Structure 1
Amino acid sequence: MQPVKAFLFDLDGVIVDTAIYHYQAWRRMANELGFDISEEFNEGLKGVSRMDSLELILAHGNVQLPEEKKQELATLKNQWYLELVSRMTPTDILPGVPAFFAQVREAGLKTALGSVSKNAGLILERIGMTGQFDAIIDGNKIAKGKPDPEVFLKGAEELGVQPAECVVFEDAVAGIESALRAGSFAVGLGSPDVLTKASMVFPSLENVTVSQILARL
């Protein structure tokens, strides 16, 4: 096994939880189209790109629209979402994240963000964490969403390390698959019943230590 040189992090559900804002914006859009979506349905959209999420929602509501209208709706949804996330502050950082990042720095490990969100930069700025990453890979830098490995392959490349030297932290099934396809280790944050392919699973980063993770790889 190669020594671990870098930790790569998804954003939503790992560092912050913006799922509620996505849900509120998507639900508003669905309501305007004449149907509703539940929080359970929204869970299935985690880690899925904006256009793919829109397709799933339209199929759920049995609504068919021309491509131009879909682009218009995706843009509108994003505007509503941005209105919500622009109010975020450092208090929105999930419990345990600042302490864990302090340990990562102390251990001399490199860090990268690996998110399909095109708004990742704005969110990091709002919560004051931009400076915590040596590389930021978001939806503006990739052509393929998760479970394609592109986001984590690019992260390793920008850090100057091999994918096999990286540990990826993810809360979504698609993200875990993306990490594994990149050839990295995958640490799941959430339920072990859901994130079955992860090397190890924790409820969150709270009370997790870097040494604990490295010892279990």
Structure 2
Amino acid sequence: MNLQAVLFDLDGVIVDTARFHYQAWKRLADTLEIPFTEKQNERLKGVSRMESLSILLSLSPKPLHYSPDEIEDLAAKKNSWYGDYINTLTEADILPGFREFMAWCVKNSLKTAIVSASKNTGTIVDRLGIRSLFSTIVDGTRVRNAKPDPEVFLLAAEDLSVHPGHCLVVEDAGAGIRGALAAGMLTLGVGDPAVLEGAAIVVPSLDRLDTRLLEAL
């Protein structure tokens, strides 16, 4: 097995805060009188907060004009609501299969990292009580470019002192898979194969993963 490190996306892989993101974006959309559905929310998956806001505003049926400061205020408002929601998280919210997969990583002496676009990663990780499981955390507070830019993945590999070609990225979003491939890394997609094009392996959830597939990578 050529693997030396596993890089985990956070949302949708370790924990599902998608409902919180949707609730916060929906709340903002309602205040701006923008129709916003769960299907439209899929477009925001795996992209930065400011890019997500840009997508949301583009859905408005009427012209919207905001100054840069007003845009920042809207993003901050959404994040404040989202923060209220994630403060309800507990260890019980960790997704099925993650702990077992992490145990497999430890058994095989693999280094581990979190690679997330979220600037709330630290709060979520602490709420879940899993910070000590990772050698490094690279999130939205450390990178300038959102996925699919490979920056977050390459920085994690640098932190771990592991060549990108020996890293496996676990992602639930197409933008993440594309970024990992651009970084020259192996990929494991979690979720819908239709949005995880290019992933070497795709499973519906981590508790459905047969680790023998990884040993062949």
Q: TM-score, normalised by structure 1?
A: 0.96
How many Å separate the matches in 2 of 1:22 and 1:64?
Answer: 24
- Aligned amino acid, residue 8 of structure 2: F
> Which range moved further: 201-210 or 118-127?
201-210
Q: How does 1:20-39 map to 2 (within 5 A)?
A: 20-39=19-38
* Structure 1 residue 7: Cα displacement: 0.4
Aligned twin of 2:102? 101
- Give the match's secondary structure for 1:193: helix
Residues 29-53 of structure 1 deviation map (CA, whole Å, 9 limit, x = unaligned): 0100112210000011000100000
Aligned twin of 1:85? 86
Do 2:6 and 2:169's aligned partners in 1 also have CA atoms closer than 8 Å?
A: yes
Q: What is the identity percentage for the equivalent residue pairs of Structure 1 and Structure 2?
A: 47
Matched, 1:155 2:156: yes
- Aligned amino acid, residue 52 of structure 2: S
- The runs of at least 4 aligned residues of structure 1 exceeding 2 Å deviation read 209-212
- Aligned amino acid, residue 60 of structure 1: L
* Structure 1 residue 158: Cα displacement: 0.2
Q: How does 1:36-185 map to 2 (within 5 A)?
A: 36-61=35-60, 62=62, 63-185=64-186
Q: TM-score, normalised by structure 2?
A: 0.96
* Structure 1 residue 28: Cα displacement: 0.4
Do 1:58 and 1:64's aligned partners in 2 also have CA atoms closer than 8 Å?
A: no
Aligned twin of 2:13? 14
Q: Aligned residues, how many?
A: 215
Do 1:169 and 1:188's aligned partners in 2 also have CA atoms closer than 8 Å?
A: yes
- Aligned amino acid, residue 107 of structure 2: E
Do 1:103 and 1:209's aligned partners in 2 also have CA atoms closer than 8 Å?
A: no
How many Å separate the matches in 2 of 1:140 and 1:83?
Answer: 19
Do 2:115 and 2:139's aligned partners in 1 also have CA atoms closer than 8 Å?
A: yes
Could you tell me which runs of 5 or more consecutive residues in structure 2 were left unpaired when the two chains were aligned: none
* Structure 1 residue 197: Cα displacement: 1.0
How many Å separate the matches in 2 of 1:129 and 1:44?
Answer: 28
Do 1:112 and 1:136's aligned partners in 2 also have CA atoms closer than 8 Å?
A: yes
Aligned twin of 1:4? 3
Could you tell me which runs of 5 or more consecutive residues in structure 1 were left unpaired when the two chains were aligned: none
Do 1:100 and 1:209's aligned partners in 2 also have CA atoms closer than 8 Å?
A: no
- Give the match's secondary structure for 1:196: coil
How many Å separate the matches in 2 of 1:187 and 1:211?
Answer: 13
- Aligned amino acid, residue 26 of structure 1: W
Do 1:164 and 1:185's aligned partners in 2 also have CA atoms closer than 8 Å?
A: yes
- Give the match's secondary structure for 2:198: coil
- Aligned amino acid, residue 16 of structure 2: D
- Aligned amino acid, residue 134 of structure 2: F
Do 1:48 and 1:146's aligned partners in 2 also have CA atoms closer than 8 Å?
A: yes
